[in-house]
Amino acid sequence: MPKTTEFYKFCVIIPCYNQAHFLSDSLNSVINQDYRNLEILVINDGSTDNFDLVMSSFIKKDNRIKIYSQPNQGLSATRNTGLKYANGDFIVFLDADDWLEIDFFKNYSKVINQFPDFELYRCGYSYWSLDRGKRYHTHLPSNDGLLYPNVVKENIGACHSILIKKSIADQLGGFDISLKSCEDWDYWVRAGKLGAKIKSIPIDLVGYRYITDSMSRNAKVMYTSLSKVIQRSVKKDFRISSESMFNQDLNWDTSQLIKNQFIKCLGVLLYQGNVEDALKWYEEEHGKWEWEFEVKEFAIMNSQLSFKYFLDSENIQYLFVKVLPSFECFFKNIGYSCNDVVKLIQIVFEPQFKKKNHLKFGKYLGKVLNTFSIYNV
């Protein structure tokens, strides 16, 4: 018999460290939902801003909110604190600077009611500017079924776009506090190794603040975490508390997967203008792995980690004037000819070249120019 829409209890875990300026947005997006059966756990990870002031008003107006405080320990440990106190049927991890769109829980409860035999559910998500005034990109998932082994190849979505059954979360061992990034991907890999299946909802139900200034990203730290997650994703994971036929060693060569992540992280370093660091790092990893690089592979330097969604005229102009020369210098110094460098630049910045043609010449003429790869900086 179908359940009522309020049958499921959802637990929202919100870690917060010095993000009180975004926290009101995040909390309002939860408590303003037309769904009451919620548990809202806000974990203060040693904030030194006005966290207490912001939370005081929310505690007074909604008794579903509970606050837990701890000394600063990092994102993974903060989420783990939330897991310790969670009592809902399903859990969503919502960062303090992101938000849920209206009817998030109504949509999820409806889909869970129709398809109860899944352990994870995911929805679409959009990248927005810091002030929520500009939407950069929307991604709508479509694939359903077993997570593993496909989850080894790439993450499955924005963390707060994914619901996980608490009964599965209890078996995963929490988030890895040793990882400085990619801790969510590592978590979903373990869910896959338990045999979890995922159901996709092709509706945009969450917002993600996209940091257009990627100067704050540490490319090498990201790469270290990405490499670690990939390498152990094909090995038996002893952090999982239950036996599973999926939790075993795979005979996979992970070199190409790690290489792809290295290229993306190189793109971040070059976006930041760190050409010398990029050249040195390239030589180190190239020698370590003995990789051979094809020209077309460098296209993924333009990724969600760097500037993939910077497609308005102002950002395109900035990229062409301030960023593109770093890529030219890099490609010349690793041995590519002048003709190949031109080709590489066209490959890396292709989305921006195409968008510029559309903006400058209109939809139809822009399409013709793009068809013949006629680009101008």
Residue 78 in contact with residue 41, Cβ under 8 Å? no
More confident residue, 286 or 213: 286
End residue of a domain, out of 214, 244, 271: 214
pLDDT value of position 5 = 59
206 and 88 in a single domain? The answer is yes
Residue 330 has pLDDT above 60, yes or no: yes
Residue 3 has pLDDT above 80, yes or no: no
Residue 97 has pLDDT above 70, yes or no: yes
HSE of 53 in the Cβ direction (CA atoms, 13 Å)?
7
pLDDT value of position 130 = 87
Q: What value does the mean pLDDT take over residues 32-36?
A: 95
pLDDT value of position 354 = 95
pLDDT value of position 2 = 46
180: which DSSP letter? S
Q: Which residues contact 311 (CB under 8 A, 6 or more apart)?
A: 136, 351, 352, 355
End residue of a domain, out of 160, 185, 214: 214
Q: How many residues can be counted in the chain?
A: 377
Render pLDDT for 54-96 as a digit per residue (tens, 0 to 9): 999 999 999 999 999 999 999 999 999 999 999 999 999 999 9
3-class state of residue 229 by DSSP: helix
Tell me whether residue 236 is in a domain. no
21 and 77 in a single domain? The answer is yes
193 and 282 in a single domain? The answer is no
pLDDT value of position 1 = 39
Residue 105 has pLDDT above 80, yes or no: yes
End residue of a domain, out of 154, 189, 214: 214
pLDDT value of position 217 = 83
CA angle 241/247/250 to nearest 5° reads: 155
Tell me whether residue 117 is in a domain. yes
205 and 354 in a single domain? The answer is no
Q: What value does the mean pLDDT take over residues 291-297?
A: 96
31 and 148 in a single domain? The answer is yes
Residue 213 has pLDDT above 80, yes or no: no
180 and 258 in a single domain? The answer is no
Render pLDDT for 192-208 as a digit per residue (tens, 0 to 9): 999 999 999 999 999 99
More confident residue, 311 or 372: 311
CATH number of the domain where residue 198 is located: 3.90.550.10
203 and 260 in a single domain? The answer is no
Mean pLDDT for the chain overall? 94
Q: Could you tell me the pLDDT band of residue 374, with boundaries at 50, 70 and 90?
A: confident
Residue 369 has pLDDT above 90, yes or no: no
37 and 172 in a single domain? The answer is yes
Residue 277 has pLDDT above 50, yes or no: yes
Q: Which residues contact 251 (CB under 8 A, 6 or more apart)?
A: none
Predicted TM-score (pTM) of this structure: 0.94
Range(s) of the domain holding residue 261: 253-371
43 and 191 in a single domain? The answer is yes
85 and 145 in a single domain? The answer is yes
3-class state of residue 84 by DSSP: helix
196 and 267 in a single domain? The answer is no
Residue 376 in contact with residue 320, Cβ under 8 Å? no
Q: Could you tell me the pLDDT band of residue 11, with boundaries at 50, 70 and 90?
A: very high
Q: Which value, to the nearest 10 degrees, does the dihedral of the CA atoms of residues 302, 305, 308, 311 take?
A: -130
Tell me whether residue 315 is in a domain. yes
- Domain count for the chain: 2
| Percentage of residues in the chain having pLDDT higher than 90 | 91
Tell me whether residue 105 is in a domain. yes
264 and 340 in a single domain? The answer is yes
| Percentage of residues in the chain having pLDDT higher than 70 | 97
Q: Which residues contact 235 (CB under 8 A, 6 or more apart)?
A: 249, 250
Tell me whether residue 40 is in a domain. yes
CA angle 334/336/339 to nearest 5° reads: 155
pLDDT value of position 216 = 59
